[in-house]
Structure 1
Amino acid sequence: MSARRDGDPASGDGRAHDNGQASDDGRKVRLRLGELRRPPVRDWVIRFAFGAGVSALAGVVSVLAGPRAGGLFLAFPAILLASVTLVAKEEGARQAAQDVAGATFGTVGLYGFAVVVALTVTVWPLWLSLTIATLTWAALSLALYAAVARLRR
């Protein structure tokens, strides 16, 4: 799910009107929960089908090759594929590329999460390990976003 920018997303070109509040590309990113009702049911079904399909594949791989191999498939960004396809169709390739960039920042943070959990889960209480890992994910993701935004200016 992408955060919409100010402007007319129905134009399909991914452009938005500048409202004077700058981000890395001159537009302010806003989260509008009311937009969740906007996509047609077909779009939600596509996202669900991608996610369910990859999860089912991970289950099959787990049964055939073991849980470690199956776990790798659970890391597959199934919903991202469906979302980017729908965003590109409805809002343009530029918006889809921005969503992929955001997912990339989140992925780097997720690597940090995994490293922290791997190093601490057996020596710290689980709640502490997961809390620090989550904070690491957020810090890495936001730092990468800020660094890229600064480089683009």
Structure 2
Amino acid sequence: MRRSPRPAGGNGQGAGDDDRVRVDLRAAARTPRKDLFLRFGFGAGVSLLAAVASRLFGPFVGGVFLAFPAILLASLTLVAEEEGLTSARDDARGAALGTLGLAAFAVVAAVLLPHHSAWLALGAATAAWLVVSLGAYAIARATGCGVEERPRADK
């Protein structure tokens, strides 16, 4: 997924349509192999760390490591190198909003799974993730969070 390109010379005023999200399936085919291996390696490393932590300290601690977004750091590094710090910052903010949705998913699933069918519990948890993630995005956008920051003038 990529954001639409920002207009040249944009001053960050107004939240127009310059940050719409779109899906570009051909972008995966254009991704350099080095980048794919870096993301895969980082994700595998975090998964291995989670397995070791789970073995040493129990499944609860291992699960905490699995909650870590395994490829986020590698992806943000690549985005910062290729598209700039502004794009990496925007991706990090998006990941934070998605994490709020993931927390909602976990809470709903934990509450419903012991008492209801997996289909119902996971369906409700997925709906909670979607509502919370999109709601957080709408609130952030309405309050102006993520609007391009301008450097402060030294006085």
1:131 aligns with 2:123: yes
User: Is 2:16 the partner of 1:17?
Assistant: no
The count of residues paired between Structure 1 and Structure 2 equals 139
1:105 aligns with: 97
Aligned twin of 1:12: none
The corresponding residue for 1:39 is 31
Task: List 4+ stretches of structure 1 deviating above 3 A.
Answer: 23-26
Q: Cα deviation per residue 1:4-38 (whole Å; 9 max; x = unaligned)? A: 423xxxxxxxxx336xxxx9364133221111122
Name 1:5's counterpart in structure 2.
Answer: 4
Query: Where does residue 138 of structure 2 map in the other structure?
Result: 146
Give the TM-score, by structure 1 length: 0.85
Q: Secondary structure at the match of 1:78?
A: coil
For structure 2, the residue ranges without an aligned partner over 5 or more in a row are: 9-13, 148-155
For residues 4 and 36 of structure 1, what CA distance do their matches in structure 2 show? 15
Cα deviations by residue, 1:82-134 (Å, 9 ceiling, x for unpaired):
10000000000000010011101110011111110111111111110000000
Deviations 1:36-68 (A, max 9, x none): 122210000000000000001111111111111
So what's the TM-score if we normalise by structure 2?
A: 0.84
Backbone CA RMSD of aligned residues: 1.7
Percent identity at matched positions?
A: 47
Specify which structure has the higher proportion of helix. Answer: 1
CA distance in 1, matches of 2:136, 2:25: 25
Q: Distance in 1 between matches of 2:115 and 2:25?
A: 39
Unaligned runs of 5+ in 1: 7-15
